[in-house]
Structure 1
């Protein structure tokens, strides 16, 4: 059974499955994150929804490039969680199935392409204190606990 984080589903709402992939990106003892600036600041692991016809790894590479402008290598899946949320940009209630990977950031090639996103670099402790969702915090905390 997959771990559920956040609020339970709202009774009477119909949720659409929305698979996504997200990356923990360690860089010189810190972590690359994205900050979605509107409608309010929300710090997140870079990543997003899997488009039709895409594999999770294709999505991971695309989303990291769009949200923080970096190429990545050696992605390794850490696990998954699900959460129930309203997605105003799509006007839909979604059951988000979130796969989390750790990957090696290789090179920053561009600023974020995604509108209203900024690249943020923080320590693990700082990131855990500001990440906007419980699943991101859980996996980053678990990743930090696994390190020597």
Structure 2
């Protein structure tokens, strides 16, 4: 069974399964996260939805680059969790199946290419404390010594 974080599903809503891949990126005592300005101001692990025909690892590399401008190396699967949320940018009630990887930031190619995202380095404990959802916080905490 895959652990759920956040609110339980609502009985009055139909949820569409939305698988995604997300990365915990550390270098020394620093963590690279993304700040998303819309639809809500929030800090997140970089990552996102897996497109049709795309593998989770392909999506992970693409999404991290789009949201941070960084390439990654040596992704290792940490686990997965579910969240039941409304995604206003898609007008969609989603069951997000989030697969989390630990990876190394390899090189910065430029700024994020996805509008509304800013790459942010901060101390790992601070980054974990500002992440917007408890599932991200749980898996980000699991990489700390």
- For the criterion TM > 0.5, the same-fold answer is yes
Residues 1:32 and 2:27 are matched in the alignment:
no
SS of 1:7's equivalent in the other structure is coil
- 2:77 corresponds to: 77
- 1:58 corresponds to: 58
Deviation at 1:32, TM superposition (A): 0.5
In 2, Cα distance between the equivalents of 1:124 and 1:31? 5
SS of 1:143's equivalent in the other structure is coil
8 A contact 2:46–2:63 mirrored in 1? yes
- 1:126 corresponds to: 126
| Paired residues, number | 145
In 1, Cα distance between the equivalents of 2:79 and 2:126? 22
In 1, Cα distance between the equivalents of 2:58 and 2:112? 17
The unaligned stretches of length 5 or more in structure 2 are none
In 1, Cα distance between the equivalents of 2:129 and 2:74? 27
TM-score norm. by structure 2 comes to 0.97
**Hey, which bits of structure 1, 4+ residues long, moved more than 4 A?**
none
The unaligned stretches of length 5 or more in structure 1 are none
TM-score norm. by structure 1 comes to 0.95
- 2:111 corresponds to: 111
In 2, Cα distance between the equivalents of 1:2 and 1:63? 23
- Higher mean Cα deviation, 11-20 or 33-42? 33-42
CA shift digits 1:15-66 (9 cap, x unpaired): 0000000000002320000000123321000000000000000000000000
In 1, Cα distance between the equivalents of 2:28 and 2:112? 20
In 2, Cα distance between the equivalents of 1:37 and 1:13? 26
Deviation at 1:12, TM superposition (A): 1.6
Q: CA RMSD in A?
A: 0.8
- 1:2 corresponds to: 2
In 1, Cα distance between the equivalents of 2:7 and 2:92? 16
